[in-house]
Amino acid sequence: MKTVKRNLALALVLGCTSQCACAAATLYSNFDAWKSQVPSITTLDFQDMANGEWLGSQYLSLGVDFTDGGVKQQSGAYNFDGHGIYGGCKLEMVFDEPIFALATHYPGSIRFVLYSGDDVVYFGPSQGSGPLNFRGVTSTIAFDRAWLMGDTLGPPVCDAIAVDNIYFQTVPGPASLAIWIVGGIIGAGRRRR
């Protein structure tokens, strides 16, 4: 099983496989430049979590679930507000609806892996290292899941991940989705007349 995981990781690093719907992605190292490309963003700064609290379903109301269970809130050397998250080999985020943009401020190194369903749409390079790094990505293919990883390719040998703030394209809430659906039904009814 370890060999299969390592071979898959190597294939992703070398390029897209037949199971990869490759997106054109734009990487940003400047927050303002990334933010200018995203119409509405949600910011997670982790200040509402207790020191040592494990990250999980705390942000479901914002349209994102953290599903890997190996990362916790850690106060300390995070430059924006003294709060961040730390631990695990990867941070997995699952979004209620597909989005096109994700970013983070982080100390250390980070890599983005973006998924649409089970298909990898983007496997980014490792970026870092320093006390106040920023990395953002916009994708031409919507993604509903993202991994943020440290310097390495993941288990069994990996670096712990440290993140200060996470920013992502705002996930439309149920009310917004309902308005969009009702508008579509009304529009379809008018076209039939």
Q: Is the residue at 10 inside a domain? A: no
- For the chain, give the mean pLDDT: 76
Q: Which residues have a Cβ under 8 Å from the Cβ of 26 and sit 6 or more positions away? A: 37, 137, 138
Domain-embedded: residue 12:
no
Inside any domain, residue 158: yes
Of 2-6, 15-19, 114-118, 143-147, give the lowest mean pLDDT range.
Answer: 2-6
Listed range (91-95, 107-111, 188-192) with the worst mean pLDDT: 188-192
160 contacts 150 by C-beta, under 8 angstroms = yes
Q: What is the CATH number of the domain that holds 69?
A: 2.60.120
Q: How confident is the model at residue 154 (pLDDT cuts 50, 70, 90)?
A: low
**pLDDT band at residue 73 using 50, 70 and 90 as cut-offs:** confident
Quote the tokens at residue 13. 């690093």
Q: What is the pLDDT of residue 93?
A: 94
Owning domain of residue 102:
18-187
Average pLDDT of span 176-190: 45
Distance (Å, whole) CA 9 – CA 92: 16
The pLDDT of residue 124: 86
Residue 37 lies in a domain: yes
Query: Mind listing the pLDDT tens digit for each residue in 16-55?
Result: 443 556 668 899 989 999 999 999 999 999 988 888 888 9
Assess if residue 193 is contained within a domain: no
What is the pLDDT confidence band of residue 97, given thresholds at 50, 70 and 90? very high
Q: What is the DSSP letter of 86?
A: E
Could you tell me if residue 84 is inside a domain? yes
- Residue 101 is assigned to a structural domain of this protein: yes
Structure confidence at residue 99 as a pLDDT band (50, 70, 90):
very high
End-to-end CA distance of the chain: 59
DSSP alpha helix (H) spans, the chain = 2-14, 31-35, 174-192
Asked if residue 5 belongs to a domain, the reply is: no
Number of domain units in the chain: 1
User: Any long-range contacts for 152-159 (C-beta under 8 Å, 24+ apart)?
Assistant: 152/89, 153/6, 153/9, 153/10, 153/13, 154/5, 154/9, 154/89, 154/90, 155/5, 155/89, 156/2, 158/89, 158/90, 159/89, 159/108, 159/109
Q: Which residues of 137-150 are buried (b: 16+ CB within 10 A; e: fewer)?
A: bbbebbbbbbbbbb
pLDDT band at 155 (very low <50, low <70, confident <90, very high): low
Which pLDDT does position 159 carry in this prediction? 74
- How high is the pLDDT of residue 157? 65
Tell me the Cα Rg of the chain: 18
